[in-house]
Amino acid sequence: MIRGLRFRRASRAIALSAPLLLVALLSGCRGSEPVEPPDVRIEQGSPEDAARSVVRVLREQKRLKTEGRPAEAEALERVIRQRLAAVDRVEALVRTMLEQTGRHSTRDAIQKGAVRAIGGWAALLGYYVDEMPLEQAARISADVDGFVQIRIPAGPRARTGVRFICERGKDQLWRVITIDFETPPAPASAAPLSPASVAPSSPATPAAPAATPPAIASPAQLTPPAQDASPAQDASPAQDARPAAEAAPPTGAP
């Protein structure tokens, strides 16, 4: 009788917990469903449009993360991967990197590496993305086989620029392959440098002969040169003989 009572209690507990387990499973399934991304203006008619669109999406993604809306931020990251990133080119770069480092370039590793690389754009531009003047997007290279480099300043008065390497796809839409920072150019107001100021000042560079004092090997080197001798040495033979002639007694003198 006691054994039957325990069995009935266990059966009742299982029956009561089954609906709760089902609800948890269904809730988990619903939570994994993709969230619709917020509406962000995306244009891909030119490489400038593609670069500006990536910045717009990253701005909105940053705002959503700040507001504590990670699901919507993740949805925008998918938008970049699915529409604005040249995923096949990014995967090719990841494959090359894996092979150069001696790691296995499996399809799964390549895809995961591409996702991380594209997802890293948000961290790369996170500090600058809100201040980047999109109207100043400009080409810094010619169109070579459908590849163009675009530069957007990192800020309204920043000398450093953000470089976007873009590709035109077979559908004639432009997408971004990589993003990095370019080397800041020299200030335009800098005064031109003279050749002497840019010459290397290495200790191994020999000095000019005139600037190097000659070494003194013996006291004889301190003797003045011949042109500095006394006037008697420069006198003519007649002048040298005159005092002797005047001092000699006249010929035939008694």
Element (H, E) at 11: helix 2-31
Lowest mean pLDDT among 193-197, 221-225, 249-253: 221-225
- pTM for this prediction: 0.61
Lowest mean pLDDT among 126-135, 165-174, 182-191: 182-191
Dist CA 162 CA 132 (whole Å): 9
Tell me, yes or no, whether 111 lies in a domain.
no
Q: What is residue 102's predicted lDDT score, i.e. its pLDDT?
A: 85
Q: What range defines the domain where residue 51 resides?
A: 33-85+128-181
Tell me, yes or no, whether 40 lies in a domain.
yes
Encoded tokens for 245? 């002639």
Q: Are 72 and 37 in contact (CB under 8 A)?
A: yes
Dist CA 165 CA 47 (whole Å): 8
Tell me, yes or no, whether 138 lies in a domain.
yes
Tell me, yes or no, whether 249 lies in a domain.
no
C-alpha dist (Å) from residue 250 to 104, 237, 238, 246, 253: 122, 21, 18, 9, 6
Lowest mean pLDDT among 39-48, 153-162, 183-192, 220-229: 220-229
Tell whether the model's pLDDT for residue 39 goes beyond 60: yes
Tell me, yes or no, whether 174 lies in a domain.
yes
DSSP string, 37-105: PPP-----SSHHHHHHHHHHHHHHHHHHHHTT-HHHHHHHHHHIIIIIB-HHHHHHHHHHHHHHTT---
Element (H, E) at 139: strand 138-139
Per-residue pLDDT tens digits for 195-219:
443 344 444 443 343 333 333 333 3
Per-residue pLDDT tens digits for 109-143:
999 999 999 999 999 999 999 999 999 999 999 99
Average pLDDT over residues 186-201: 45
Distance of CA 7 to the CA centre of its chain: 71
Average pLDDT over residues 26-50: 77
Q: In this prediction, what percent of the chain has a pLDDT beyond 90? A: 54
Q: What is residue 103's predicted lDDT score, i.e. its pLDDT?
A: 85
Name the pLDDT band for 33 (thresholds 50, 70, 90): low
Tell whether the model's pLDDT for residue 245 goes beyond 50: no
The total number of structural domains that make up the chain: 1
Q: What is residue 105's predicted lDDT score, i.e. its pLDDT?
A: 84
Tell me, yes or no, whether 75 lies in a domain.
yes
Give the highest mean pLDDT range of 24-28, 51-55, 99-103, 244-248: 51-55
Tell me, yes or no, whether 81 lies in a domain.
yes
